[in-house]
Structure 1
Amino acid sequence: MVPTYRFMMSKFKTIVWPQVILFGDSITQYSFQVNGWGAEIANKLARKCDVVNRGLSGYNSRWAKILLPRLIDCQNSAADNNIAAVTVFFGANDCALADKNPQQYVPLQEYSENLKKISRLLASAGVSADRVIFITPPPLFEPAWEKECILKGSPLNRHNSVAGQYAQACVQAAGQCGSDVLDLWTLMQKDGQDYSVYLSDGLHLSEKGNQFVSQHLWELLESRVADLPFILPYWADVDTKSPESCLLCEQ
């Protein structure tokens, strides 16, 4: 039976699922945790595409720019045309204070140029600017983050006002690239609301913060994935007498 099975499978092309790639730092890496924003997006897109987590805790835009060609083939504009969308979510580490956290700090102008370079690399891989969504760093709640820093033996190494400068640079870079942007720094502080509820430790997202990101990101993402078909038949539509007739046919 094994040789027959191998022969049958060899006649049919492997199904290539479209992808939504989440590219960012720890806020992206942690997004697949329970009730995380990435997990929620993946749930919405089940059976339509793969949501791929490429979050890298502690990374900044400088390292992301260098690494991206190892994650996506940036030398072949046709290689990754199955990519429906990419989120680019850096800045929370770039905006660290130069004198307190020089390892992660990236100067503001370089940060902006790095984002634009990432956009060009994605374009060289066939991912057009209209399929890229930039996400700004969220606001920083300094009292809570200072406690985290002290526990690790260091002084407060970020300021909310500086995070705001990087958020503004992200918005401007997205506009110059022709991409949409989710401005978390502004939205989470809109109308003077208590944005600390969106953060678990002053920097990373709480459950409410994850819900906030998921809701607002979906508003931007939905139009990019609306036309993706449901992959493989609904179970009730499978011909029980001849399941091969629909399960092995090309969509």
Structure 2
Amino acid sequence: MSELSSVVWPQVILFGDSITQFSFDSQGWGSAIANKLARKCDVVNRGLSGYNSRWAKIVLPRIMGSVDGQSVAAVTIFFGANDSALQDRNPQQHIPLQEYTANLRSMVQQLGSLGIPKDKVILIAPPPLDEPTWEKECQLKGTSLNRLNAVTGQYAQACVQAGAECGTEVLDLWTLMQENGQDFTSYLSDGLHLSERGSEFVAQHLWGLLEKCVAPLPFILPYWGDVDPLSPKTSLLADNPTT
């Protein structure tokens, strides 16, 4: 009997800070995307709580080192919520605006060197900040308000700029969540991180960009109704394990 080829699941890699790390929580946006892509690819959570784009740029090669670029269907890069922290109140996480833009460009270039083209990369700009609610969170930790929505907006604009320069898609949450003056506060659980409604919003809008990357992916292994019950090996061990 000839050696059988392994079944290789393509990957969608979610790379970001805590908003990405928490995306696999119940009703999270990452979970919703993974559910949509069941039997087509693996959705891999590489969210790193508290990280900024400077640290992300450093660890990206380590995270992607064992990944076959040819098997990657898409990568999201979602930083900015920590980069935009005010320098005088949160110097550990703060990253200057120009460096933030440069870091995003660098990460897109790094992915390109691994065989992941720009049309498979989606940059995600940070969501708006609900200052009164986040200030309460800061006070509980014994600190003062360390972020401002207007400053977060500058970083979101920088993310959009980086996407234009790199030729990648950008999901501008900061703008979308405040479109037409809508109240965005229900999209956030603590003023910074996403609520269930916010995750639903992200999943819906991200899918609109992600769908074209994953549309060509076939259904992996035969549908159960197509398996020959009298000779299942004929169906399940065929050279092409997808339908």
Percent identity, please. Answer: 67
Matched, 1:11 2:3: yes
Aligned to 1:92: 81
Normalised by the length of structure 1, the TM-score is 0.93
Matched, 1:41 2:33: yes
Aligned to 1:60: 52
Matched, 1:136 2:125: yes
SS at 2:6 equivalent: coil
Aligned to 1:196: 185
- Write the distance in 2 (CA, Å) between the matches of 1:236 and 1:64: 44
Matched, 1:22 2:14: yes
- For residue 70 of structure 1, the aligned residue among 39, 62, 68 is 62
Aligned to 1:32: 24
Task: Give CA-to-partner distance per residue, 1:129-167, whole Å, 9 cap, x none.
Answer: 010000000000000000000001110000000000000
- Write the distance in 1 (CA, Å) between the matches of 2:99 and 2:235: 52
- Which 4+ residue blocks in structure 1 deviate beyond 6 angstroms? none
Structure 2 residue runs of 5 or longer lacking an equivalent are none
Q: One-letter code of the match for 1:57?
A: S
Number of residues paired by the alignment?
A: 240
SS at 1:140 equivalent: coil
Normalised by the length of structure 2, the TM-score is 0.96
Matched, 1:231 2:214: no
> How big is the shift at 1:16?
1.0
RMSD of the alignment, in Å?
1.3
Deviates most, 195-204 or 232-241: 232-241
Task: Give CA-to-partner distance per residue, 1:150-207, whole Å, 9 cap, x none.
Answer: 0011100000000000000000000100000000000000111100010000000001
Structure 1 residue runs of 5 or longer lacking an equivalent are 1-7
Aligned to 2:159: 170
Aligned to 2:169: 180
Matched, 1:222 2:211: yes
- Write the distance in 1 (CA, Å) between the matches of 2:61 and 2:104: 14
Aligned to 1:120: 109
Task: Give CA-to-partner distance per residue, 1:98-126, whole Å, 9 cap, x none.
Answer: 01111111010000000000000000010
